[in-house]
Structure 1
Amino acid sequence: MAQTSDLTATVRERAGKGAAREARRNNLVPAVIYGNKQDPLSIQLPYKETAMAIFGGGFLTNVITIDVDGKKEKVIPRDYQLDPVRDFVMHVDFLRVGRNTVVTVEIPAEFINEEECPGLTRGGVLNVVRHAIEVNCPADSIPDTIVCDLKGLDLGDGLHISAVNLPEGVEPTITDRDFTIATIAAPAGLKEESDDEDGEAEAEAVEAPSED
């Protein structure tokens, strides 16, 4: 499941661009906490700890406990803005996590049992169509990865979402089709050999004398 981490924050007494610029001058990151039928809360976070959390990976799928002046808020990051030139963290949006909070997130696809995939053992290539899968799931039980089993797949086969065992409560956002996550492509040499054989067969058919 998604990791849980902690951050500390203080309330921003004033909102607006001027207050946000002042926070950044003081090496703080302006942020807002919203959702769960409560009023939005403007806060500011220590820059170093916030940047480490963002650039450490998986930030948008981690549940975070923020201590705001002694009151703890359980949240999940929904968005953050970076300075386009310096990659400086400019602002963060957090969503409060309640008992029934459902979020839409992209979860990385993890491929297993490559050694039991006939297509790969025959020299095929794993062609990943979706490196991440967008799903709806409970905010307090976000999976780290979506496990995709390659066992038994041969050359030319595809792995579709219907073949993936999703964790309880996790549903793909695409529901109108059985979309492809990956395929097992034939190696270039085998494909070229097959094309040559097809061409020779066509040539023989053309050159074969008539029996009339």
Structure 2
Amino acid sequence: MKFVAFERAKQGTGASRRLRHTGRTPGIVYGGTVEPSLIELDHNALWHALKKEAFHSSILDMELNGKSNQVLLRDVQMHPYKPLVLHIDFQRVDANTKLHMKVPLHYSGEENSPAIKDKSLVNHIVTELEISCLPKDLPEFIAVDLSKLTKGASLHLKDITLPKGVTAVTHGKTNPVLVAAVAPAGEEEAAPAAEAAPAADAKAAPAKAAPAKAPAKK
């Protein structure tokens, strides 16, 4: 994705507030071997770009002073209740330095899985995955096929194939669960109830009456 940024001459709270009143968003670009650059962007164009998934998870081409710079979106500060971007941060990309990024997981095939046919509930526990890779290997998303997911089964990180050159960053969790297929709540409750019923019936069954004694002979 491409976007245009402009140099920002002034900084500070007052200058940023005046900039926002003119329909611009203040920002900064840092990283690499050069000093950080203060920038400003058109707010409306930025607002629409932020709605696109690729703007958050892929390498962006930023045009600044007629030159193209490869950057990553690193931080966005939003107004607490207004549809307003207060500030935005970008990081320059070095082709030889590995990136740490969160990329979305795109699940597919769920509707054709045995789990859905058995009326299971499929829970997407993880929707994005933190990865490490060189810029050239950065995927926009990671595709995960759920067409073989069965009732009661879980899909773990080691069950999926990551793109070439990409490794997952799990922060100590060796093999986290990504997806779980569980039985509906009513079905889970019915099973223990069915098991308990015979025991309850046994306790409730009346004791057999003792045989009547024959009257004593006079």
**Residue of structure 2 equivalent to 1:55:** 51
1:142 aligns with 2:153: no
Structure 2 CA distance for aligned equivalents of residues 79 and 207 of structure 1: 65
**Which structure 2 residues correspond to residues 150-165 of structure 1 after superposition, within 5 A?**
150-165=146-161
**Residue of structure 2 equivalent to 1:88:** 84
Q: Once the 2 structures are TM-superposed, how far is the Cα of residue 112 of structure 1 from its aligned partner?
A: 2.5
What SS does the corresponding residue of 1:36 show, helix, strand or coil?
coil
Match of 2:176 among 168, 176, 179: 179
Q: Once the 2 structures are TM-superposed, how far is the Cα of residue 81 of structure 1 from its aligned partner?
A: 1.0
**Residue of structure 2 equivalent to 1:36:** 32
Structure with more of its chain in strand, by fraction = 1
Provide the TM-score with structure 2 as the length reference.
Answer: 0.82
Q: Once the 2 structures are TM-superposed, how far is the Cα of residue 187 of structure 1 from its aligned partner?
A: 2.5
Structure 1 CA distance for aligned equivalents of residues 9 and 43 of structure 2: 18
Is the alpha carbon distance of 1:56 and 1:150 closer, same or farther for their aligned partners in structure 2, counting shifts above 3 Å? Answer: closer
One-letter amino acid of the counterpart of residue 22, structure 2: N
1:199 aligns with 2:217: no
What SS does the corresponding residue of 1:144 show, helix, strand or coil?
coil
Question: Any unmatched runs of 5+ in structure 2?
Answer: 208-218
One-letter amino acid of the counterpart of residue 133, structure 1: L
Q: Count residues in correspondence.
A: 205
Structure 2 CA distance for aligned equivalents of residues 113 and 54 of structure 1: 28
Provide the TM-score with structure 1 as the length reference.
Answer: 0.84
Structure 2 CA distance for aligned equivalents of residues 34 and 53 of structure 1: 20
One-letter amino acid of the counterpart of residue 197, structure 1: A
1:98 aligns with 2:108: no
Identical-pair percentage: 28
Residues 10, 69 of structure 1: 8 Å contact kept: yes
What SS does the corresponding residue of 1:66 show, helix, strand or coil?
strand
Point out the structure with max Rg over C-alpha. Answer: 2
Q: 1:27-69 CA deviation, whole Å, 9 max, x = no partner? A: 2211111112221011111222112111344432132212112
Deviates more, 1:123-132 or 1:159-168: 123-132
Residues 57, 141 of structure 2: 8 Å contact kept: no
